[in-house]
């Protein structure tokens, strides 16, 4: 149940018992191959940071593109530092501050997990550094989700301050509840690769931010929603392809083992199911936009693929390909229904991150109980709500404090002129924009 | 000869004979490593879908970019579903409908190959799901080739209807002749990774489509060819780099095994040869455009690299690096000669897919007999023609039927205004285009 | 000390001694896994060629974008051919022309290293073709570094003539001094993955070129530096993410072995340190530009990440994560200080390659002695200077000869109008640029 916990004690104890030639050789190969899985998986999830950057840069207007790029490279870099400084130690606690609920802040181990790994954990089932590298990328992904929703009006440094808190503390705490062996994993919650822990968590943080921040100027006018089309759809499409690609590492790597025939076959099933869910999400969104709006909508199709991916993430192994198609397809449908719904509620989510990551994240988490007999619908809902409420409330408080102190939003004039000239003094496309 | 046939029966029978400790351990490691080859190869070939999307989006005019992106993400998603629903079962038939010629439609196994794999095939030499994942990507590539040629005037849904047929039936049928152990493989035809089965097949489908569709309005005027320059060359270059990258998976993965020193050394030779052929294709195209047109032509250089890649795909293992240079270099020369030739014939191939995939695909298939002593020039030509005629005729009939019924081409006014506003109501670069 | 030397003789001699069942099986698995490391590492470093292309295309003005793309695809292709034709044989000499200093030109082995490998070297510790593939990519990277600095005014063919010399001779000669087992490795110099051998070498070649070429017209006017902003910052950001991604292969692959628990754990440490250094470089550059210029500068932040990567490249294994943070962070600071400094010296480095690759390359090489007790500060400086002076002087002479004979720089009119129309007759964005 606690899939992402770094197994070390148990395996360490068991290894001497395996001390005959063949068993040891197999264990060695298994150690190497599982480390390779973490490294390749981590590299693919790293690549998702580029995917989010391109997706968001393509979906904002050109006057805010430099800012969106800056936020994305900055948030990844901050996540890399904060997860090392605090997050990893909180997420995988040796000694809990509060058993099952809160790990130690700034634990000594977290100051140099790699060094520690080389001494102790490496004798376990995979290189400690490879595990750290892989887990770090999930933390960064959570932050990437937030930046799109709040685009085109949030100030740079206040946003980055939130990233510090999210990646150093909020994400690691809620993730420790499940993947760190905490109370949620004890309660029987199931979230294979993070539909809730990563995607819905990012979505709830985004929701808290957007409620405090409010919609962009001119977005809702006289009861109508004014379209603010993205400036570069090839970039948005590239970003989606990058995310789709990276997701093979996200879900496949979460098998957390590749040293046996059984494990590599599971990884392969996960790859096939992940791909199917994405394809189904895209096709359903495409058909539905044709039927409902009489025209295929590319950005909804892209978000449909992403929603399919989020939907399968909570359980990419158990479903058959047909079940993966259903799960992902409904994810795609969610996008088409929820995007207009949010606009009706005047929740201005620039890139559609809330439908894709929060709502499809709920769907994916809930439906685990359909294909995984170890899970129950009730526990799935409970776990989703527990993490959702925690992330939402803490994020809301934090955004409110920032708003009251250093200010969260650029001035009206700066927003109208674009954040690029106002905050950064640098245009993304100085020679292209017409007027 | 039938390199891509999923070996299972033979190996299954042989395995018990290997039932001593060391042999078994090696078999296990081999199973894992070959599955890893399929997964990584598949991921790289998946990435080629993004490459085609970027290449084509960069080479069409900005008024048709959203449509080209939509077609590319849609065709991949449809391929993913159709290859599962019908294609895989047709391509690797347990029981043929017509021995060596036609596999079963909608075979039960194809409804959940992954599930089946877990029970039976997995005991073979690699995870069944990994094989499915890898093969699926080749099917999708075939469809990607078609979309570029027909760009800027074909309607969305008729094109997607063709993709359904191509990926569910046309490609799997012709591929079964060779990689499914059918009559072509019995006849001694040789196509390691698909110069004919994938690339020329896609090219023939594109040729059928373009002949029925006709050239874009204004392309051929008073006996002259009017240039219609691509709107975004960095995108086209990015797409080419992505395709080049993905090709390592395309050709390297087609070794279909990585569990022994011999196999991994072969994979490495394939990587080196693939890279050399691409480089030679680019350099030759660059030099030839300088000599013939007095100016280096970037899009021909990009297509030269791609033609080099297509050329080496039928036999990336047997050639020395010097032979790979020759094979790829001639591929690059083909582009420079065939692109103007097609224009003379008023065949309006927007991105140059026919020179790159069909003509260089022929060259690559033909020249196999130079370096692979198991192949003969005659059989290579025969196989190429067999697949070419089959794909061309079936595609031609299908396009003709669509044209006669639902219509294939947008109206003249829509074509002039661009497909993006007419069919999709969404511009790719709403803020950039001047006028 | 000579990390990149292809070990074959020693291992070949030792292998018979290991001729008992288990040892042999482990050796086989090790051979495969190390070959896989070379192939995956090589693929990732190949991808860096795309990263440089996007970074540079994004940072030049739109009138020179097609040229920059052409140079990048051409230089990679030329490197692929020249490294095969001459470079590989020079870099890893069986018989030196001058012991420790100069390998044989056009050695027979270099004409078909793959073929040779299959016979002899493959019995060593990894596939010879995989090693060739991996090493080739480092050679190409060196050339990629040069093209950015000299952008927007150097002619196409003279630049490519320099690439021929750089990738066929200059790089292989200096690299043979260290990685080929030459005099520098004997002297105790330490450069794990090439802060000096690749990055500073590329930087020195760029410096030689820019001194002869001079600044762009209008760059320095009345004692002031005129900003010439890049035309497409999303491309530049994408390029940076690609380079960051590829660097995992660059540094991780340079472990040159992945067949044991110890080696894969080292590869994992390298991944984690590489990521940390890049993140620290980005964060430091971001904070410093905020403090010094009151506005975060995106291009400096991107270059800060790259400088962090270059800084950790000379020793990505020994540092703790905290040390990696310090090393990379100082790399980021270097960018912020050196970019304006170069402008004061009227050295017009279009993309900032000299600060990033040469200066941060020095920093990374120097600081090796902090974390790696086998290295000394003195030897590190000596090695850096030896390679720097050699590359600079030879490049300078070559550029001077070209300038005196075929000419190096486009005419004033061509430069003002842009190289794309003047030299190539093809615009990168024919529909976007306003005026």
pLDDT digits (tens, 9 = 90+) for C375-392: 999 999 999 999 999 999
> Counting one residue from A and one from C, how many pairs have CB atoms under 8 Å apart?
191
Residues 6+ apart with CB under 8 A from A228: A61, A152, A216, A218, A219, A350
**Among the listed ranges A305-314, B14-23, B296-305, which one has the minimum average pLDDT value?**
B14-23
Mutate to test the interface with A, among B137, B168, B429, B435 (most CBs of A within 10 A): B429
pLDDT digits (tens), chain C, 435 positions: 344 433 333 333 333 333 334 556 677 889 999 999 999 999 999 999 999 999 999 999 999 999 999 999 999 999 999 999 999 999 998 789 899 888 888 664 444 444 444 434 444 688 989 999 999 999 999 999 999 999 999 999 999 999 999 999 999 999 999 999 999 999 999 999 999 999 999 999 999 999 999 999 999 999 899 999 999 999 999 999 999 999 999 999 999 999 989 999 999 999 999 999 999 999 999 999 999 999 999 999 999 999 999 999 999 999 999 999 999 999 999 999 999 999 999 999 999 999 999 999 999 999 999 999 999 999 999 999 999 999 999 999 999 999 999 999 999 999 999 999 989 999 999 999 764
Express as a percent the part of chain B with pLDDT over 70: 89
Pick the residue with more confidence: A147 or B22? Answer: A147
For the stretch A145-157, pLDDT in tens is 999 999 999 999 9
pLDDT band at A433 (very low <50, low <70, confident <90, very high): confident
Helix (H, G, I), strand (E, B) or coil at B100: coil
Tell me what the pLDDT averaged over chain A comes to: 90
φ/ψ region of B417 (left if φ > 0, alpha if ψ in -120 to 50, else beta) reads alpha
Residue among A234, A290, A299 minimizing CB distance to B235: A234
- Confidence band (pLDDT; 50, 70, 90) for B107? low
- pLDDT score, position B165: 97
Lowest mean pLDDT among A99-103, A112-116, A350-354: A112-116
A260 to chain B: closest CA residue: B32
**Residue B5 vs residue C293, higher pLDDT:** C293
Q: How far is C362 from chain A (nearest CA, A)?
A: 23
CB A358 within 8 A of CB A207: yes
A273 touching chain B per CB within 8 A = yes
Helix (H, G, I), strand (E, B) or coil at A287: helix
Residue C104 confidence (pLDDT):
83
Q: CB contacts < 8 Å between B and C, how many? A: 192
Distance in Å, alpha carbon of A346 to nearest chain B alpha carbon: 23
Measured in angstroms, the CA of C39 and the nearest CA of chain B are apart by 7
CB B299 within 8 A of CB B236: yes
DSSP calls for B170-216? IHHHHHHHHTTS-HHHHTT---SS-IIIIIIHHHHHHHHHHHHH-PP
The helix (run of H) or strand (run of E) holding residue B406 is: none
User: Any CB–CB contact under 8 A between A371 and chain B?
Assistant: no
Chosen from A47, A50, A61, A237 to mutate, greatest number of chain B CBs within 10 A: A237
Residue in chain C lying closest to B303 (CA): C73
The per-residue pLDDT for range B33-92, each reduced to its tens digit, is: 999 999 999 999 999 999 999 999 999 999 999 999 999 999 999 999 999 999 999 999
DSSP A87-147: IHHHHS-SS-SBTTTB--TT-HHHH-HHHHHHHTGGGSSS-HHHHHHHHHHHHHHHHHHHH
The reply to whether B257 touches chain C by the CB within 8 Å rule is no
Query: Cβ of A25 under 8 Å from any chain B Cβ?
Result: yes
pLDDT at A191 over 60: yes
- Under an 8 A CB cutoff, do B129 and A433 touch? no
Closest alpha carbon within chain C to A424: C295
CA distance C233 to chain A (A): 5
DSSP strand pairing (C224-225 vs C220-221):
antiparallel
**SS3 of chain C:** CCCCCCCCHHHHHHHHHHCCHHHHHHHHHHHHHHHHHHHHHHHHHHHHHHHHHHHHHHHCCHHHHHHHHHHHHHHHHHHHHHHHHHHHHHHCCCCCCECCCECCCCCHHHHCHHHHHHHCHHHCCCCHHHHHHHHHHHHHHHHHHHHHHCCCCECHHHHHHHHHHHHHHHHHHHHHHHCCCCHHHHCCCCCCCCHHHHHHHHHHHHHHHHHHHCCCCCCEECCEECCCCCCCHHHHHHHHHHHHHHHHHHHHHCCCCCCCHHHHHHHHHHHHHHHHHHHHHHHHHHHHHHHHHCCCCHHHHHHHHHHHHHHHHCCCCCCCHHHHHHHHHHHHHHHHHHHHHHHHCCCCCCCCHHHHHHHHHHHHHHCHHHHCCCCCHHHHHHHHHHHHHHHHHHHHHHHHHHHHCCCCECCHHHHHHCHHHHHHCCCCCCCCCCC
Half-sphere exposure in the Cβ direction for C379 (13 Å, CA) = 19
pLDDT at residue B45 in the model: 98
Is residue B16's pLDDT more than 60?
Answer: no
Q: Which tens digits make up the pLDDT trace of B372-408?
A: 999 999 999 999 999 999 999 999 999 999 999 999 9
**B22-424 CATH, one of 1.10.3430.10, 2.60.40.60, 3.40.50.300, 3.40.50.10490:** 1.10.3430.10
Query: Best of B59, B232, B264 to disrupt the C interface by mutation (most C CBs within 10 Å)?
Result: B264
Q: What is the pLDDT averaged over residues B11-28?
A: 47
| Inter-chain touch C73–B25, beta carbons under 8 Å | no
Instruction: Identify the weakest region by mean pLDDT among A108-122, A184-198, B55-69, B312-326.
Output: A108-122
Instruction: Inform me whether the C-beta atom of residue A29 falls under 8 Å from chain B C-beta atoms.
Output: yes
Domain A21-424, CATH class in plain words: mainly alpha
Given an 8 Å threshold on Cβ–Cβ distance, is C130 in contact with B248?
Answer: no
C296–A431 CB contact, under 8 Å: no
| Count of C-beta atoms within a 10 Å radius of residue A59 | 27
- Pairing state between β B220-221 and A224-225: unpaired
Residues 216-235 of C with CB under 8 A from A: 229-234
Sign of CA dihedral C327, C330, C331, C332: positive
Angstroms from A374 CA to nearest CA on chain C: 33
Chain B CB within 8 Å of residue C127 CB: yes
Chain B residues touching residue C421 (CB < 8 angstroms): none
Which residues of chain C have a CB within 8 Å of the CB of A108?
none
A 42-61 → B contacts, CB under 8 A? 44, 61
Give the contacts of A18 (CB within 8 A, at least 6 positions apart). A24, A27
Taking only residues 282 to 301 of chain B, the set having a beta carbon closer than 8 angstroms to any beta carbon of chain A reads none
How many Cβ atoms sit within 10 Å of the Cβ of residue C388? 21
Cβ–Cβ gap A49/C320 under 8 Å: no
Residue A17 has pLDDT above 60, yes or no: no
* A258–B contact, CB cutoff 8 A: yes
Query: Would the pLDDT of B122 be above 50?
Result: no
Please identify among residues 78-107 of chain A the ones whose CB lies closer than 8 Å to any CB of chain C: 78, 80-81, 84
- Rounded Cα distance between C410 and B289, Å, is 20
Q: For residue A357, give how far its alpha carbon lies from the nearest alpha carbon of chain C (Å).
A: 23
Residue C346: Cβ within 10 Å count: 12
Identify the pLDDT of residue A16. Answer: 35
Whether the predicted pLDDT of A9 surpasses 50 = no
Please state which of the four CATH numbers 1.10.4030.10, 1.20.120.160, 1.10.3430.10, 3.30.2350.10 is assigned to the domain occupying C23-424.
Answer: 1.10.3430.10
8 Å CB contact of C279 and A81: yes
Residue B247: its chain C contacts at CB < 8 A? none
Q: Average pLDDT for residues A190-211, to the nearest whole number? A: 98
Quote the pLDDT of residue A325: 97
Q: How many angstroms separate the CA of residue B252 from the nearest CA in chain C?
A: 10
Q: Is the pLDDT of residue B166 over 80?
A: yes
Please name the residue of chain A whose CA is at the shortest distance from the CA of residue B137: A275
Judge: B35–A248 Cβ closer than 8 Å, yes or no: no
B118 contacts A269? CB cut-off 8 A: yes
Flag if C50 and B273 touch (Cβ within 8 Å): no
Asked if residue A333 lies in contact with residue A300, where contact means CB atoms within 8 angstroms, the answer is: no
Do A265 and B122 make contact, defined as CB atoms within 8 angstroms? yes
More confident residue, A321 or C13: A321
pLDDT for res C433: 73
The answer to whether residue B115 scores a pLDDT higher than 60 is no
φ and ψ at residue A182, rounded to 5 degrees: -80, -160
Residues A205, A208, A213, A219: is their CA dihedral positive or negative?
Answer: positive
Closest to B351 measured CA to CA, from B229, B249, B434? B229
Q: Does B320 touch chain C (CB under 8 A)?
A: yes
**In a mutagenesis test of the C interface, which of A60, A73, A435 is the best target, namely the one with the most C β-carbons within 10 Å?**
A73
Which candidate from B231, B237, B265 shows the least CB-CB separation from C73?
Answer: B237
Question: Do the Cβ atoms of B50 and A245 come within 8 Å?
Answer: yes
Angle at CA B110, nearest 5°, toward B104 and B112?
160
Average pLDDT value for residue range B340-369: 97
B130 closest CA partner among B122, B142, B140: B122
Roughly what angle, to the nearest 10 degrees, separates helices A261-293 and A233-253? 150
ipTM: 0.93
pLDDT at A367: 98
pLDDT at C107: 65
pLDDT class of B24 with cuts at 50, 70, 90: low
Residue C11 confidence (pLDDT): 34
User: Which residue among A232, A272, A280 sits closest to B81, beta carbon to beta carbon?
Assistant: A280
Encode pLDDT of A264-275 as tens digits.
999 999 999 999
Residue among B12, B30, B129, B419 with most chain A CBs within 10 A, to mutate = B129
Contact B252 C39 (CB under 8 A): yes
In whole angstroms, give the CA distance from residue C19 to residue A305.
53
Q: When comparing pLDDT for A43 and A114, which is higher? A: A43
């Amino acid at each position: 149940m606690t899939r992402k916990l770094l197994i070390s004690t148990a395996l360490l104890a068991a290894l001497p018992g395996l001390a005959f030639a063949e068993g040891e050789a197999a264990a060695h190969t298994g150690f190497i191959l599982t480390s390779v899985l973490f490294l390749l998986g981590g590299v693919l999830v790293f690549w998702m940071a580029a995917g989010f950057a391109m997706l968001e840069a393509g979906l904002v207007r050109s006057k805010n593109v430099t800012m969106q790029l800056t936020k994305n490279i900055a948030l990844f870099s901050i996540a890399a530092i904060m997860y090392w400084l605090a997050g990893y130690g909180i997420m995988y606690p040796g000694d809990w501050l509060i058993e099952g609920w809160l790990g130690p802040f700034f634990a000594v181990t977290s100051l140099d997990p790699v060094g520690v790994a080389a001494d102790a954990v490496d004798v376990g089932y995979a290189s400690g550094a490879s595990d750290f590298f892989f887990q770090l990328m999930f933390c960064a992904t959570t932050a990437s989700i937030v930046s799109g929703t709040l685009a085109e009006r949030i100030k740079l440094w206040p946003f980055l301050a939130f990233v510090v808190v999210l990646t150093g503390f909020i994400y690691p705490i809620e993730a420790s509840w499940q993947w760190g062996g905490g109370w949620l994993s004890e309660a029987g919650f199931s979230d294979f690769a993070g539909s809730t822990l990563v995607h819905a968590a990012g979505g709830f943080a985004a929701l808290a931010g957007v409620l405090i921040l409010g919609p962009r100027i001119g977005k809702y006018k006289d009861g109508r929603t004014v379209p603010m089309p993205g400036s570069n759809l090839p970039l948005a499409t590239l970003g989606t392809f990058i995310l789709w690609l990276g997701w093979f590492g996200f879900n496949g790597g979460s098998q957390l083992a590749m040293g046996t025939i059984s494990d590599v076959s599971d990884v392969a099933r996960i790859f096939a199911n992940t791909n199917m869910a994405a394809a189904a999400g895209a096709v359903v969104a495409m058909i539905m936009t044709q039927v409902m709006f009489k025209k295929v909508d590319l950005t909804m199709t892209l978000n449909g693929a992403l929603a399919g991916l989020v939907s399968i993430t909570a359980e990419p192994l158990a479903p058959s390909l047909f079940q993966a198609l259903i799960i992902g397809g409904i994810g795609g449908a969610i996008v088409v229904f929820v995007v207009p719904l949010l606009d009706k509620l005047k929740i201005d989510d620039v890139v559609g991150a809330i439908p894709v990551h929060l709502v499809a994240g709920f769907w994916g988490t809930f439906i685990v109980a359909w294909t995984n007999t170890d899970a129950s619908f009730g526990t799935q809902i409970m776990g989703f709500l527990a993490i959702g409420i925690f992330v939402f409330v803490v994020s809301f408080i934090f955004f409110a404090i920032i708003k009251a102190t250093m200010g969260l939003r650029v001035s009206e004039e700066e927003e109208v002129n674009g954040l690029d000239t106002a905050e950064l003094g640098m245009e993304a496309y100085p020679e292209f924009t017409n007027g």
